[in-house]
Amino acid sequence: MVYTKKIFITGGCGFIGSNFIKLLLNETEYQIINYDMLTYAGNLNNLKEDEKNPKYFFIKGDICDKERVLKSLEGCDVLINFAAESHVDRSIKNASNFITTNILGTSILLDAAKELGIKKFIQISTDEVYGSLTKEDSSSKEEDILKPSSPYSSSKASAELLALSYYKTHKLPVIITRSSNNYGLYQYPEKLIPLFIINLINNKKVSLMGKGENIRDWIHVEDNCRGILNIIEKGKVGEIYNIGGENEKTNMEITKCILDEFNKDESWIKEIPHRLGHDFRYSLDCSKIKQLGWKPKYTFQEGMKKTIKWYRENPSWWKKLMEESK
């Protein structure tokens, strides 16, 4: 079989990357090279059932290794950069890995893409680059000024600016995506939703920062992946696209939603201090991507039920990760 495009995906063993690869394998004829260093959040088991697919090929590698990147990227049409250090709390404790991977790594990928004449470079970013909003503020639009608060979001904003500079200076066909908080299958259990689900499965309390008043917009990972695919096929180079679920919830609302699924009350909540520089609210205006014909498939309630069901039915996936993280 002749495949129409060869897509190079960095960080494809992570949460969003592995879900994106599954979408491509199931619904497109693209040939995929998954390039991943397999750090703590990269898990080959996410794609175990896809290993023998003739459209899929895995390479273990570091995006900061330019020689290996160039060799692996040769012959590809599209580069999608999911690879990133992504946990805010880890960035607050030690920012060096975030600077190395998220900024230096992105610059090496950009140079390689320029050298090899890649036809499209998709930089995966986050709504956190906009910084904190108040309840009264309008949702963030793509042209808004960036005001990142944490070392993590600052490193992602830096990577975006680098990517856009390659578009403006070298005419590299770059597109940026900024998504809201993702949830769903195969999410590493350090993030709020999978961690709370697993704690309750194990009859442990959930630790909530403050009174849980901070607000996030939530999108099912499959909806984000479909948005990215839509942008690859229909997006305009040099542009930025927000991808949000339009499900703004306080952290307390999320917590109560999960507790309800386990028939547990608020006595299972343990209040802990806020992280340093804890942003109050994120919210995305997604009018631009909707003009490309995209819209979310899942309601928040549907997505959460599917997610909780999966973690309940797949303890073998997360138990090993929980042991390794101790």
Active-site residue list: 127-128, 152
Strand-strand pairing, 78-81 and 120-126:
parallel
> CA 30 to CA 26: how far, in whole Å?
10
Q: At what angle do helices 300-313 and 251-261 cross, to 10 degrees?
A: 50
Residue among 45, 37, 90, 15 nearest 319 (CA): 45
> CA 2 to CA 77: how far, in whole Å?
14
Residue among 157, 82, 88 nearest 123 (CA): 82
- Other CB atoms within 10 A of residue 287 CB: 11
* Sign of the alpha-carbon dihedral angle for 290, 238, 37, 52: positive
3-state secondary structure 67-118: HHHHHHHCCCCEEEECCCCCCHHHHHHCCHHHHHHHHHHHHHHHHHHHHHCC
Strand-strand pairing, 56-60 and 6-10:
unpaired
Phi/psi region, residue 203 (left: phi>0; alpha: psi -120 to 50; beta: rest), is: left
Q: What is the DSSP letter of 283?
A: -
> CA 54 to CA 1: how far, in whole Å?
10
* Sheet with 31-36, side-by-side order of all strands: 56-60, 31-36, 6-10, 78-81, 120-126, 174-179, 240-243
